[in-house]
Amino acid sequence: MKTRTAKALPCLLWICAAVCAPAASAAAPEWLRALAREPVASYPAETIAVILLDERIVSVDDKGQMKTLYRRAYRILRPEGRELGYFAVHFDLETKLTFMKAWTIPAAGKEYEVKEKDAVEIGQFGDMYSDLRSKVLRIPAAEPGNVIGYEYEQAHRPYVYEDRWLFQDQLPVRRARFVLQLAPGWEFRDVWFNHPEQKAQGSGSTWVWELRDLPGVEIQPEMPPWRAVAGWMAVRYFSSSSTQAQKSHGNWSDMGAWYSSLTQGRRQATPEIKEKVAELTANAPTTLDKMKALAAFAQRDIRYVAIEIGIGGLQPHAAAEIFKNRYGDCKDKATILSSMLGEIGIESYYVLINTNRGVVTSGHPPALAFNHVILAMRLPDDVPDATLFSAQQHAQLGRVLYFDPTDDITPLGHLPTYLQANHGLLVAGDGGELVGLPLQPPPTNRLYRVGKLTLSPAGTLSGDVQEVRWGAPAASRRSQFLNAKGEDRQKVLESFLTAFLGGFLLTQATAENLERFDETLVLHYGFTANNYAKRAGNLMMVRPRVLGQKSSDVMEGKERKYPVEFDALSLETDMFEITLPPGYKLDELPPPVEVDYGFAAYRSKVELNGSVLRYQREYQVKEVKVPTERLADLKKFYRQIAADERASAVLQRTP
């Protein structure tokens, strides 16, 4: 989805620093001066700035044309707040930027003003060609103690009459205000999220919502996406006019019908597409094998390049164009795959989704909060689903398999972790419905690590390790290896081993099925680690848990405000066998551990079989989110694991 709001852009500082014109001295507007005169409130020492005002004034005329005036002001509190002196306004062929201005009111000295003529205009970065452009403006003297502010106005004709008022920010907000001015015959409906509902003040054509003293959303490790916990309001506008009503989605079915109209005829297969399907499936003995071949083509033979001009940010290109050019964005990849699947008799449907789990929920209105498109395939009776873990039963469609052709390392039958337990708009027939995508069970995300090792009398540990990975653990490690070049792949393993062995030498490393994404990833590596065991007199202490960490410090430090969210459910097993040196006998073993808190479980044990010290453990994540009321249990859980990971077996030298 193309975004048209202003935001700070620290990554573009070098652009403005190079070319932005110096500011002229000019009078700031009274609304900004009034804010600068307000007493400075007290905030935690680490707060870099406070948003004094975040205001949006939306006007809708009788023809559905919209104008939006944005105003925002900051008081800079710390040097890190200087990055707020750069902001960007986004626009495209459907959105006209009427004006933009910015000012600085220093704690002492003259005021400054910059205007649109001082801005730098830039296009998109990365694999995207779009009519979306940005004007970046540098606000001078964004220094601690100073107040900076800007305002701009945009005129546009929206594709959908809905707005999202994102009134809570990562910074504290003194005052947030949303003003809605509607032409006669227009109405609105508002829905609130992560914040108590506030009634609009006003009547007739002008309505106002205002909030004060909103706390900042503190970013904490392993929390849900911050937009999934921040407060916001959705506003839908609708008119009695039949033309305008088409853009006012009363429910998910309406929005599905609208998107279906955008994709009408886009999946039509050409003779060239038909020929390619025949080629790819010629040696595939089963329907499932044919599906896998077509899915792999969409994943890896269609390069990800986004061409988004006008409605192209929402509407896919035609399958013929995608196939000819061999590139497209997420909705294009879904389109070409859907077209090809149709040639082997597989029905498929677009699914609009947000890649941040929790941003869209079942309680949302049908707003354009989606930023990604995947595919849902209707499974025929001859396709078994025992290994298709992203399949689920649909009341009308039967068995449906969800698949993301944009993710080039997650095979058919699996979903990337961020899409699991997420909500998407399934566009089928003449409508749509919001569906919950499946959460794959722990055994589908598996890590099995086995080490056969030998400890020398000097305390050196050496031997070989084999890891078998599938599901999410395989995808994450594959991504690291495939993104590395040549010798850098060895550094991926060396970086992992460094955390547990200190000084070591990697003696060998191989990988099986690295680019066969529907097979398990198997890693073999060997090492020698000097001084692994610690000696004290006639005692030697050795840590049985050689590699891998399941504990976390996410619960340490400041008190958490938000839940902890795991990437996925998983099942991970470690087994290390250490052959002890001659001349030593066992003096003490760490105790076994077995804990189960419902959301996760852990068990381990150490035993001696002859001269072999054997350590085994199993770690299982059973729920993807730990709510705030269970965080105390999570803290205990991690501390129990950490104690087990640190524990040592004590050996005594025999006479």
pLDDT tens by residue, 136-174: 999 999 999 999 999 999 998 777 788 889 999 999 999
**What sign results for the dihedral spanned by CA atoms 240, 241, 242, 247?**
negative
What is the distance, to the nearest Å, from the Cα of residue 422 to the centroid of all Cα atoms in its chain? 11
Amino acid at site 279: E
* pLDDT level of residue 91 (50, 70, 90 thresholds): confident
Lowest mean pLDDT among 240-249, 372-381, 405-414, 487-496: 240-249
* pLDDT level of residue 9 (50, 70, 90 thresholds): very low
Q: What is the pLDDT of residue 21?
A: 47
**CATH number of this structure's domain 443-653:** 2.60.120.1130
Please report, for residues 228, 249, 263, the alpha-carbon distance to residue 367 in angstroms, rounded to integers and kept in the order given.
15, 8, 18
What mean pLDDT comes out for the span 473-481? Answer: 94
* 121 or 593, higher pLDDT: 593
pTM for this model (two decimals):
0.88
- The domain segmentation of the chain, as residue ranges, is 7-245, 259-439, 443-653
Report d(CA 553, CA 539) in Å as an integer: 31
Q: What is the pLDDT of residue 128?
A: 56
pLDDT exceeds 50 at position 298 = yes
pLDDT in tens, 194-230: 999 999 998 778 999 999 999 999 999 999 999 899 9
Q: What is the pLDDT of residue 109?
A: 84
* pLDDT level of residue 7 (50, 70, 90 thresholds): very low
* Residue labelled with tokens 């070319």: 19
Long-range pairs for 590-593 at CB < 8 Å and ≥24 separation? 590/544, 590/644, 590/647, 590/648, 590/649, 591/647, 593/617, 593/640, 593/641, 593/643, 593/644
pLDDT in tens, 531-543: 999 999 899 999 9
CATH architecture of 259-439: Roll (3.10)
Q: Is 642 exposed, middle or buried (0-12, 13-18, 19+ CB in 10 A)?
A: middle
* pLDDT level of residue 366 (50, 70, 90 thresholds): low
* Residue 530 near residue 562, CB atoms below 8 Å: no
Q: What is the pLDDT of residue 238?
A: 82
Express as a percent the part of the chain with pLDDT over 70.
Answer: 92
CB neighbours (10 Å) of residue 399? 16
Quick one: fold of 7-245?
Answer: Immunoglobulin-like (2.60.40)
pLDDT exceeds 60 at position 2 = no
pLDDT exceeds 80 at position 260 = yes
Q: What is the pLDDT of residue 236?
A: 85
* pLDDT level of residue 241 (50, 70, 90 thresholds): low
pLDDT exceeds 70 at position 561 = yes
When computed from its CA atoms, the radius of gyration of the chain, rounded to whole angstroms, is 29
* pLDDT level of residue 512 (50, 70, 90 thresholds): very high
Report d(CA 422, CA 415) in Å as an integer: 11
Q: What is the pLDDT of residue 564?
A: 96
Closest CA to 324 of 260, 271, 261, 374: 271
Lowest mean pLDDT among 301-315, 341-355, 615-629: 301-315
* Token output for 65: 């044309």
* Token output for 252: 């998910």
Q: What is the pLDDT of residue 282?
A: 96
Terminal C-alpha separation, the chain: 74
Lowest mean pLDDT among 32-46, 79-93, 128-142: 128-142
Q: What is the pLDDT of residue 495?
A: 94
At residue 286, φ and ψ (nearest 5 deg) are -120, 165
Q: What is the pLDDT of residue 248?
A: 54
Closest CA to 443 of 387, 370, 505: 387
Q: What is the pLDDT of residue 252?
A: 87
